[in-house]
Amino acid sequence: AGTGEGTIGLDAITGATVTVIAENQVVLRSGLAVARQVGIIEPTIRAPAKFTKMENKLNWAELLKNGSVQRLKVDTAEVGMPRSSQPYIDIYFGYLNAPAVGRSVLGDSVYQSLMSRLKPDEHAIFLIANGLESFKGSGFVRGGIYDRVQVAQDMDTATFRDLDYLNLYGIEAAGAPTYQESAIFIIRSPGFSGAYPWSLVFLANKMDRQTGSRTFVNFAREYWLPGRYLEGGRPEIIEPEATWVTVWKSRKVEVVLFLIWLAAAGTVYALREKLVRRSTMKDTRWKDYPKYLLWITSIGFVGFYLLAVPSITQVLTWFHSILFEWRWELFLSDPFIFLFWIFIIISVFFWGRGMFCGWMCPYGSLSELIYHVAGKVGLKRYQRHLLPQHWHDRLKWIKYGIFAGLLTVSFYSMGMAEKLSEIEPFKTTFLVGAWNRTWPFFTFWAVLMVASAFFERPFCKYLCPLGAALAVPSTFRWWGLKRKKECGPCAACAVGCGSQAIDKAGRIDQRECLLCLDCQVLYYDDHACPPLAQERKRRTKAGEPLTPIASDGYFIPITAAAATAAPAAAERQSLPAFIGQEFFDHLFPWSRNALQQPRLLQAVSLALAVLVTWVWVLGAAGSIGPGIVLGWWLAWSVYELVVRMRCKPYVKEGPWWGRELRPASWADMAAYVGFKNLLIAATLFLAMKSAGVLDFLQGLPSLQWLY
């Protein structure tokens, strides 16, 4: 909207999810269109078209080629019906006022008769159609309204009644197709102009094959009269600025500040080695103060001011967009959420989810600060720093179950998934406000706030579905935290680990680690780390100097170690051989030893792999629903998980392009299999879509028995 006198600004968008952003745009545009239709807002007055002199009559092919006739075709699959050799609707249409078009389509006498009937500011279009559906609909029988077709020009819309309808008895242009129904509609709008582009809109009733619910969807085709038929050619059109561009421009100062904040956060964590070396377990200011500053700015600037709070609903939307339809304008609608997610994705692959969850999440920062402040004001004696490990090891899986449940529900009803995602208290805390919610939401929010005062990050550890979603790729972070060989039996780090991410063997679970860096401070602290403290005491007692601590966490030796014969270097695998092995390892869960299994078992495994691939192809082509594809994807992933734990029980350690492997736990393998299969499916889908393969696959028969 403008900023002039009489305009009203409505902010119903700030902080909303990407789905709500799209809904908001539809509601505002629909409201504006309705206001124009009922006369609340005057239609835009455009300069009338001035037509050039009549040229030779054109045949049908020539009319199509130069754009004088356009085609709007809707397939049955686009409205949720089984695929058919016949289209749902196939409409040819054109603008008849232009002499070159009208005379070619109608013939001279019919064109002259039509023009004599039209009043000033009236316009005629023709439609001919084939297909399973009628563009006339049923509304004209009950109330004289043709409710299936409209003409839209910018925000102005023209609908048709029985008085706007004329019979079309035939097409004079040579080579015209046969058709089942036809019509001439009269546009009676002073704002309409044939010189400017307009669209024919067909309103269809779409059925969701998974739920059986029906919704109305619009299919539109633009029409712009060729410039050769207009005196002076086509007028200059200033395309309206995309909504997301307007949003970015209006908040450019905040965008710059937010980018600075993201860069500062990444820089601080990248310098963690210097920060932890300057800190000790008795004085952690160098490590803590930058983190405290990030927490405070995350809560105040990012959370309450920018309302840039990442949510599981955005993850679900991305899943659906990758698998079905990606729309950049949808994700660009909120610049802060868009930029935040770019940073989150990069940081998750670099360092794991702990960078976002532990340092930058507005709600996680608020929960952590509440815990620290509560300890400072006298509640420390009541605080329970850690749950018993056996309880923690069980409760931590709840968040993964919540994430899996939300993802599954979203394939049947995205609306229901968004309602269930209210288990995240982010909207109550930052977007809407606790005092503006009904009592169930307020009670849940209050319980979590009180629990945060006595337990460190209870929601983050046990309930957060967003944390669970980010934890899966965190299994394969490129750079982890440093460990020593003594970390297994020592367990000094595990005692103080607030996220309880260190197991009895001294291994750090990157899916649970929030990167507090306490273990890294201890790693270099020669008064707290047991092996370092022992070496320090030995040297002090022996009168030996204390050399600096190297990056491996040990004192630099006083004397150089005796030279020993270097072990023979292992023959390094060539790059083509490495790529071939990687391809085989990622796509085939079976090892070479699996070929020695019984032939029947091999045949069943191969058949299952082929069947799952076929189901995925049919799903990508739209022949079966997403719920069926998801079910088979999960079934294959479970099967692959079991096979890999028996045949290839290892995963990559560090970057995916590295060659270092480590033994895999069931959780490691589940994260690897699920994430890998999703990436493979999404990559193949996008490649097939861009190459046009999906258009070919749309003709494939569906496997009805899969339903």
Share of the chain above pLDDT 90, in %: 47
pLDDT tens-digit profile of 478-525? 888 998 888 878 888 888 888 899 888 888 888 999 999 999 999 999
CA dist 103 and 26 (Å) reads 39
Q: Please report the beta strands in 596-660, taking only residues with DSSP state E, as ranges in sequence order.
A: 650-652
Query: In the structure encoding, which two tokens stand for residue 677, read together?
Result: 């299969």
pLDDT tens-digit profile of 430-443? 999 999 999 999 99
> Considering only 35-44, 51-60, 274-283, 694-703, which range has the smallest mean pLDDT?
694-703
Which SS3 state, helix, strand or coil, does residue 503 take? coil
- The string of DSSP letters for 449-468 reads HHHHHHBSSHHHHHT-HHHH
Containing 327, the helix (H) or strand (E) segment is none
Start-to-end CA distance of the chain, whole Å, equals: 48
Q: How confident is the model at residue 30 (pLDDT cuts 50, 70, 90)?
A: low
Please tell me which residue, 525 or 206, carries the higher pLDDT value. 525
∠ at Cα 441 (436, 443), nearest 5°? Answer: 105
CA dist 111 and 96 (Å) reads 8
Cβ–Cβ under 8 Å, residues 450 and 357 = no
Please tell me which residue, 151 or 12, carries the higher pLDDT value. 151
Per-residue pLDDT at 341: 96
CA dist 670 and 637 (Å) reads 8
Cβ–Cβ under 8 Å, residues 132 and 86 = yes
Q: How confident is the model at residue 576 (pLDDT cuts 50, 70, 90)?
A: confident
Kindly report the average pLDDT of the chain as a whole number.
83
Average pLDDT over residues 129-135: 92
Per-residue pLDDT at 429: 95
> Considering only 40-44, 47-51, 442-446, 578-582, which range has the smallest mean pLDDT?
40-44
> Considering only 372-386, 387-401, 418-432, 611-625, which range has the smallest mean pLDDT?
611-625
Q: How confident is the model at residue 695 (pLDDT cuts 50, 70, 90)?
A: low
Per-residue pLDDT at 140: 62
Share of the chain above pLDDT 70, in %: 81
Query: In the structure encoding, which two tokens stand for residue 663, read together?
Result: 């033994």
CA dist 613 and 668 (Å) reads 24
pLDDT tens-digit profile of 447-475? 999 999 999 999 999 999 999 999 988 88
Query: In the structure encoding, which two tokens stand for residue 502, read together?
Result: 């260190």
**Identity of the highest mean pLDDT range in 314-318, 395-399, 570-574:** 395-399
Please tell me which residue, 664 or 44, carries the higher pLDDT value. 664
pLDDT tens-digit profile of 245-302? 988 999 999 999 999 999 999 999 999 999 999 999 999 999 999 999 999 999 999 9
Query: In the structure encoding, which two tokens stand for residue 15, read together?
Result: 């902080």
Average pLDDT over residues 539-559: 89
User: Considering only CA atoms, which of 682, 110, 208 is closest in space to residue 414?
Assistant: 208
pTM of the model: 0.77
- Residue 331 makes CB contacts below 8 A (sequence gap 6+) with 18, 321, 337, 338, 341
375: exposed, middle or buried (Cβ count in 10 Å: 0-12, 13-18, 19+): middle
**Distances from the Cα of 180 to the Cαs of 81, 83, 697, in angstroms?**
21, 20, 28
Residue 616, number of CB atoms within 10 A of its CB: 20
Average pLDDT over residues 218-227: 94
